[in-house]
Structure 1
C-alpha cells in the first residue's frame, strides 16, 4: 500500500496516542532536563506544522517542522509507529519535510536528538540524508545527552 502524507491537525486519538508514546520514550531514554520533545499543545503552535503518514486508514508515523526564523527550521517529533520501523516510513516523512523546507526558502534544517543507543537509528537516518553534526542552536545548550545535526539546503 501507498504511504499518504498530509498535514495533521493533531486532534485525533491516534496521533495523540502516537505522540504521547513518543514523549514517554524520550523520558525513558534521557534525563528529564535533556528531553526536548514537545507535547500536543506545544506542537499546535502556529510556527509548527505536523504531518502524519498513513497506510490505508492506519497511522504509521509523524514528523513536525518548527520555523525558528525565515531561513531555519527544526525537526520535531519524528516518530514511526510500532510495527512499521524499517519500512522507509521515517525516510519518506523526512524527505517530505525537507521538500517543504526548501519551498519555504529555508537555508537549513536542524534537530536535536539523544545520545543513548536508543537514538542511534535516528542519527543514522539523518546522516544518510546528509545531515552533519553541529553545535547547539536556537537556545539549546551543550549537553552530554544531546546531539545536534543540521543540513544546509
Structure 2
C-alpha cells in the first residue's frame, strides 16, 4: 500500500462527502446545535477556505481545511480522520501540513475552536502537544462553555 498523501480535496467526491457527513454527525451528537462551528460543504467552498484530503491508494483517510481570517491569521477547520484509520498518527500529519501551509502564507498565528466535551480530548491533546495554547474567542466566536479556543504563534 502506498504512503498517505495530502492532496487538494474534491468536495464533490462521495468519499469526501461521507467523511464530512460523519464529522458533522459527530459534532451534532456531541454539542448543542448553537455550539457546532464545523463547516458544511458550502462553507468549505468559500474562497477564504482551502480544503485538503488525506488519501492512501483509493482510500480516503482524512481531511483538513485552512481558513484565512486575515493576512496574518489562519484558522484550522474540519480536521477529521476516518474512524477506521485512527491511531496511525494521521492527525499529526494533517496538522503538520496546515502548520507548514500557514507559515508559507506568512501567517503569524493559527487558531482553532474545538469542543470542551470528553469526545474532543484526543484533539485537544494533539493541539497542546503541537504547541497550541488555550485562549479566548477569536474572529466571530463568542465565549461558549462548549468550546475551547486555542492558538499558536508561528
Bucket of the pairwise TM-score, normalised by the shorter protein: over 0.9
**How far off is 1:82 after superposition?**
1.6
Within 2, Cα distance between the matches of 1:69 and 1:9? Answer: 24
Per the normalisation by structure 1, the TM-score is 0.98
User: Corresponding residue for 1:21?
Assistant: 22
Question: Do the aligned partners of 2:38 and 2:78 also contact (CA within 8 Å) in 1?
Answer: yes
State the distance in 2 between where 1:86 and 1:151 align: 24
Residue-by-residue CA offset, 1:58-98 (whole Å, 9 max, x unaligned): 00000000000000000110000021111011100110111
Unmatched segments (≥5 aa) in structure 2: none
Structure 1 residue 132 displacement after superposition: 0.4
Segments of 4+ moved more than 4 angstroms = none
With structure 2 as the length reference, what TM-score do the two structures score?
0.98
CA distance in 2, matches of 1:42, 1:139: 15
CA deviation profile, 1:122-148 (whole Å, cap 9, x unmatched): 000000100000000001010100000
- Equivalenced residue count is 153
Computed over aligned residues only, the root mean square deviation of the Cα atoms, in angstroms, reads 0.6
Shift of 1:42: 0.8
Residue equivalent to 1:86: 87
Unaligned runs of 5+ in 1: none
The structural deviation recorded for 1:7 is 1.1
| Residue 9 of structure 1, CA deviation | 2.8
Matched residue, 2:46: 45
